[in-house]
Amino acid sequence: MSEVCVYIRTCLREIADHQPPHLTERFVETPLAFLKLSTSHLCQKNVCLLLVILLLPLQGNAHPQCLDYKPPFQPPEPLVFCKEYAKFGCCDLDKDNQISQRFYQIMDYFDHTGFMACGKYIRNILCQECSPYAAHLYDAEDANTPMRELPGLCGNYCNDYWVYCRYTLSLLTNNNQTYAIEEDRNKFCKYLELKDPEYCYPNVLMSAELNANLGDVQADPQGCIQMCLEEVANGLRNPVAMVHANDGTHRFFIAEQLGYVWTYLANGSRIDRPFLNLTKAVLTSPWAGDERGFLCIALHPRFTEVKKAFVYYSVSVKKQEKIRVSEFTLSESDMNILDHSSERTLLEVDEPASNHNGGQLQFGLDGYLYIFIGDGGRAGDPFGKFGNSQNKSTLLGKVLRIDVDSNDSGVPYSIPPDNPFVGEKDTKPEIYAYGVRNMWRCSIDRGDSITGQGKGRMLCGDVGQNKYEEVDLIEKGGNYGWRAKEGFSCYDRKLCFNSSLNDILPIFAYPHKIGKSVTGGYIYRGCQMPNLNGLYIFGDFMSGRLMSLRENPDTGKWNYKEICMGNDKTCNFPKLINSYYKYIISFGEDEAGELYFLATGAASATAKAGVVYKIVDPSRRAPPGKCSYKPIPVSIKGKLVHFNPKEEFVINKKTSTTAVPKPKPTRPTTTPTPRPRVTQMSTQRVRTTTTVRPTPPRSRYSPSTLRPRPQFVTTARPTYWTPAPKSTEKTRGRGRGKSRRKGDRRNRSRAGMVRLVSADGRKDRGRVEIFFHGEWGTVCDDMFNMKAADIVCRQLGFLVAVQVSKRAELGAGGVRVSILLDDVDCEGTEKTLLQCKHAKIGKHNCSHDEDVGVICGFDEHAVE
């Protein structure tokens, strides 16, 4: 092999010698790009080039990933057995204990000498389930292909293992083939060796490159933070806002510019009746870039008690364009619909132009409603001597704060007594801050979950005029400088040098070569992605850039880094994508604090090109179970529209060539073809004919199940090896129990059979359980959709599935019931769930709180 490597290096050097310098540099950065050079440069080296192309896929192509196809994490408690993975890996303390028990079960077959000689090999092999590169070691990076039974070893390590402890292999596997290969070094290591010298064990632990900054947010060579996305909703018409009710249901509500607000449940499905429909009142148009329309919604922070919602939208009253802020009350008969007859106008402001409408509503931690209104439009705030923004006798160009509690009788709102300009002559008392141009999307920092740092801060993106976009921290009584300043620079020089300006500078501003219309975002305070805690993520509507700021606690300054989409290797996890539509309209948080952004491929209020994306950090996740929650059930009247993602998952595609997608055509109604599988070129797969090993009890290795050694073996066994006695039981014909008699199949459960288990014994609904290898077990709700439900219902004799119930809504399995299936992804044409794509049977990252249930029927009907 070394001679081949030397020859390849020579080939690469010879090819590079025939290229211009800039192409050679490009080759050093990315060999694959170099191979796209014109054939005229390379034809004379075609033999070398062929070898290079053939061997390039053998380069390391792994990324940190666990056997459940998710990123590694930091265990909440220190590991005791597999200590080398205590800071970052794929095991929590429970899994560490399971591996420890398995180790000592195996080592019971050894005396002290054997324990000392082979214990280290067995321990190291077992502990690779905890490695942050476990998915690559077990060839499990593609969820659609068989997984190795044991981790892939490096050649030298495998040779040593064979020399000293080869007879232990049968104790580590549940594979009848391993007994026959223990005497043949070549077959033995062919079975165990991973043909990737960088990522095999133990080399993967010794690579400084692979282990540098492991678990940190990953950045490309230019410093761009690599993120991935999960598609959450699609087919929306300019989605402008996403809010949640903070009521334990984990519902979220998405508003469209046209005037619809839709309710989405925690499982991703949408209720077919809109939460609010103001399309007849809202002023907007299908013109691309029209800033008028339904712009924001805010739910009362005590929505369970004060069942009110507040909206901000454009209207035309007697041909005068206005901004209207209204209040609605929740319907008494349906928790997912506002009472449309309950609208009460709180505030109306005349708009002198059709742009710069502002459009943000939000409640602060003080319980007051904050309203962000633009400067009135046109260019340069030309109204009056100093412009609307610097004129405190008008509400335009301001941040307002009002009290909407206890307003059921009398005035629609009151003025908080500590508003900064209360009592000031010729000043509107609603004003909280001024000097803003057109703030678009603001957020309240939830604060660090442990220290509380940052809690209550208000951050806004303020759209610029000709040169700069800015991000501001809103302070009580603050003057944000417009029209005197734009970003950090002067716009109106006469006003800019006025000593009375006393303006607050932005925490960050960027020029128009980066973007021309800022969209304010959120500081991440969720649970699932600990690396992102404290990171302010925002974007630009025009350029489509995602950006981030992180505060330096020592200096108070905010450091900027751009966010880019990770490549296919980085985002090679279930349900993730790495492209998005260009026009970033808004950002949102769910009830748990996870972060989303709303974008569209066509900036028109009537184009169904809007998508909601969840931002995902592929480098690290929270420990399993830490972020789990059980939503409060939602009473639904009407039908559920189940979510079907349109973007192709990274894990199902071969290549990705575009960073920003183009609008996708409508999905055809014909039966879809199977998705392509990701090919892992760097791994030699070992396909076995037996089932993958479960974690067995000690009785599994009783004398009756250990295979006796053949008598013709001539190699002397180590003195510490104690063979088990031969079994006296005759081998049965089918390998398990008695041979079948004719007719025995009648009442036997077959692998793949399903049943619905319900507390009231109903046959048409209940928790889904599947039969496999002699036991019934539950199915996790991850990725389980209506296609999978249809398969279950057809097996049980029903025509269709009516509803998928997640989060154990139809009952959870008990402690004695196993979880057999996870990440079930069906096309809808399979006969059983076992024919669908799924994680390894028995391998899961869920609890019975996530058991899926199904309601079947003979016709689609509304779920009451």
- Kindly list the domain boundaries of the chain, sorted by start residue: 83-205, 225-650, 753-857
The band of 62, judged by pLDDT with boundaries at 50, 70 and 90, is low
pLDDT of residue 176: 67
pLDDT exceeds 80 at position 141: no
pLDDT of residue 473: 98
Q: Is 657 exposed, middle or buried (CB count within 10 Å of its CB: 0-12, 13-18, 19+)? A: exposed
pLDDT of residue 289: 87
* Cα–Cα distance, 539 to 549 (Å, whole number): 11
Number of H helices, E strands in the chain: 16, 34
pLDDT exceeds 90 at position 610: yes
* Cα–Cα distance, 862 to 397 (Å, whole number): 47
The band of 767, judged by pLDDT with boundaries at 50, 70 and 90, is very high
Q: Over range 70-92, report the average pLDDT.
A: 93
* Cα–Cα distance, 55 to 38 (Å, whole number): 20
Output the CA–CA distances (angstroms, integers) from residue 195 to 49, 60, 144, 152, in the order listed.
Answer: 22, 10, 20, 8
Between 23-32, 91-100, 171-180, 528-537, the lowest mean confidence (pLDDT) is in 23-32
pLDDT of residue 550: 97
Helix (H, G, I), strand (E, B) or coil at 89: strand
| 512 token code pair | 């128009």
Element (DSSP H or E) covering residue 768: strand 765-772
pLDDT exceeds 50 at position 486: yes
- The rounded radius of gyration (Å) of the Cα atoms in the chain is 31
pTM score: 0.70
* Cα–Cα distance, 179 to 193 (Å, whole number): 17
The band of 506, judged by pLDDT with boundaries at 50, 70 and 90, is very high
Residues near 839 by beta carbon (within 8 Å), at least 6 away in sequence: 68, 69, 143, 821, 822, 823
* Cα–Cα distance, 425 to 646 (Å, whole number): 57
Q: pLDDT of 98-128, one tens digit each?
A: 999 999 999 988 888 889 999 999 999 999 9
Q: Which one, of 160, 161, 154, lies nearest residue 197 by Cα?
A: 154
pLDDT exceeds 60 at position 706: no
Q: pLDDT of 370-408, one tens digit each?
A: 999 999 998 999 998 899 999 999 999 999 999 999 888
* 347 phi, psi to nearest 5 deg: -155, 140
Beta strands in 357-396 (DSSP E): 360-363, 369-373
Length of the chain counted residue by residue? 864
pLDDT of residue 479: 97
The band of 630, judged by pLDDT with boundaries at 50, 70 and 90, is very high
Which residues does residue 583 pair with via DSSP β-bridges, in sequence order? 600
pLDDT of residue 152: 95
Looking at residue 609, its amino acid is A
Residues near 807 by beta carbon (within 8 Å), at least 6 away in sequence: 266, 267, 630, 631, 781, 849, 850
| CA 308, 313, 317, 322 torsion-angle sign | positive
| CA 424, 429, 432, 434 torsion-angle sign | negative
pLDDT exceeds 60 at position 627: yes
Q: pLDDT of 212-262, one tens digit each?
A: 777 777 777 778 999 999 999 999 999 999 999 999 999 999 999 999 999
| 852 token code pair | 């899926």
pLDDT of residue 9: 47
CB of 354 closer than 8 Å to CB of 438: no
pLDDT of residue 687: 31
Query: Could you tell me which residue, 187 or 23, shows the higher pLDDT?
Result: 187
Q: What is the DSSP letter of 732?
A: P
CB of 359 closer than 8 Å to CB of 392: no
Q: pLDDT of 711-736, one tens digit each?
A: 323 233 333 343 433 333 333 333 33
Neighbours of 96 (CB within 10 A): 24
pLDDT of residue 730: 39
Q: Over range 448-454, report the average pLDDT.
A: 95
Output the CA–CA distances (angstroms, integers) from residue 281 to 258, 260, 312, 315, 322, in the order listed.
Answer: 10, 11, 12, 6, 12
CATH 3.10.250.10 fits 753-857, yes or no: yes
Q: What percent of the chain has pLDDT over 70?
A: 80
pLDDT of residue 749: 64
How high is the mean pLDDT of the chain? 83
pLDDT of residue 55: 39
Beta-sheet strand order (sheet of 431-434):
360-363, 369-373, 398-402, 431-434
The band of 487, judged by pLDDT with boundaries at 50, 70 and 90, is very high
Helices (H), 532-602: none
pLDDT exceeds 70 at position 824: yes
Helix (H, G, I), strand (E, B) or coil at 356: coil
pLDDT of residue 216: 78
Q: pLDDT of 290-304, one tens digit each?
A: 999 999 999 999 999
What CATH number has the domain spanning 225-650?
A: 2.120.10.30
pLDDT exceeds 90 at position 643: yes
| CA 257, 261, 262, 266 torsion-angle sign | positive
Q: Over range 547-564, report the average pLDDT.
A: 96
The band of 654, judged by pLDDT with boundaries at 50, 70 and 90, is low
| 351 token code pair | 């708009």
* Cα–Cα distance, 464 to 504 (Å, whole number): 16
Q: Over range 617-626, report the average pLDDT.
A: 93
pLDDT exceeds 80 at position 640: yes
pLDDT exceeds 60 at position 573: yes
